[in-house]
Amino acid sequence: MARPRKFDEQEALQKMVQVFWRHGYDATTTRMLEEATGIGVRGIANTFGDKEDIFLRVLGVYTEMARGVIEQVFAPPRLEAAQMMFQGLAQVATDPDDITNCGCLMVNTVFELGRASVRVREAVEAYRAMWREAFYMAAIADGVAEPEERAEFLLGLLWGALSQVRLMGATTAAAPMAKIAVETIETWKRDSA
C-alpha cells in the first residue's frame, strides 16, 4: 500500500556505529551519516528519529556486539577468560585505520556525554554492568575473595587500558597494562587455590 524503503535498517545502523565509534557523538554530523549510509537526512530522521535517538540505537547495537564476545569468551566463566580478554586487548591491528584503534565506544562516550544525557548514561551503565557481571561470575567460579571489588577493579582496569588505546590511537598501547593485569589475576588464582 506504500512505497517500500530503499535501504536495510540494520545495515544502516551498522554503518552508523562505525561513524560514531570513530568520531564520537558531537563530531558526527548529519552529513557524515548521510554519506556513510547512502540515505538522505530526511530518510534517516523519518526512520530513526533525531540524533540522540540514533545514538541510543547505536549504543544498543554496540552492546549486543560486546555481549556476543563476552558470551563466547566467558563460557565457562573463569578468571582465565578475563586474562585472555586483556591479552586480546593488546593485539596488533594490522590496518592502522582499524576501528579497534579507536578504543571503546562506551568508554569514549562517558567522557563526551557522561553527564549530558540521562538516557545515554543509562546505556553506558548497562554496558558496564554487563562486563562487571562477567568478571564477577569469573571471580566467583575461581573462588576468589571479595569478588565484587575484584570485578569492579578489573572493570576499571579495562577502561584505563582502553583510554590509553584511544590516546595513542593504537591497540598496542594496552600491552604494558595487559601484561601486569594478567600477572595480577594470576596471583589471585594462586592465592585462592
For DNA, the binding residues (CB under 7 A) are 1-7, 26, 28-31, 39-43, 45-47, 50-52
**Closer residue to DNA (CB): 5 or 115:** 5
Torsion angle, alpha carbons of 40, 118, 105, 60, to 10:
-70
- In 3-state terms the chain splits into helix, strand, coil percentages (rounded to 5) of 75, 0, 25
Rounded least distance, CB 53 to DNA, Å: 8
Instruction: Tell the smallest beta-carbon distance from residue 164 to a second copy (Å).
Output: 6
What's phi and psi for 151, nearest 5 deg? -65, -45
Helix (H, G, I), strand (E, B) or coil at 25: coil
Three cell numbers, residue 81: 577468560
**Residue 24 binds a second copy (CB under 8 A):** yes
Compute CA 143 distance to the chain's CA centroid, rounded to the nearest angstrom.
Answer: 27
| Least spacing, CB of residue 190 vs a second copy, in Å | 11
Asked if residue 98 binds a second copy (CB under 8 A), the reply is no
Please answer whether residues 58 and 16 qualify as being in contact, where contact means their C-beta atoms are separated by less than 8 angstroms: yes
Site residues (vs a second copy, CB under 8 A) = 24, 26, 107-108, 110-112, 114-115, 121, 124-125, 128, 146, 148-150, 152-153, 155-161, 163-164, 166-167, 169, 176-177, 179-181, 184, 187
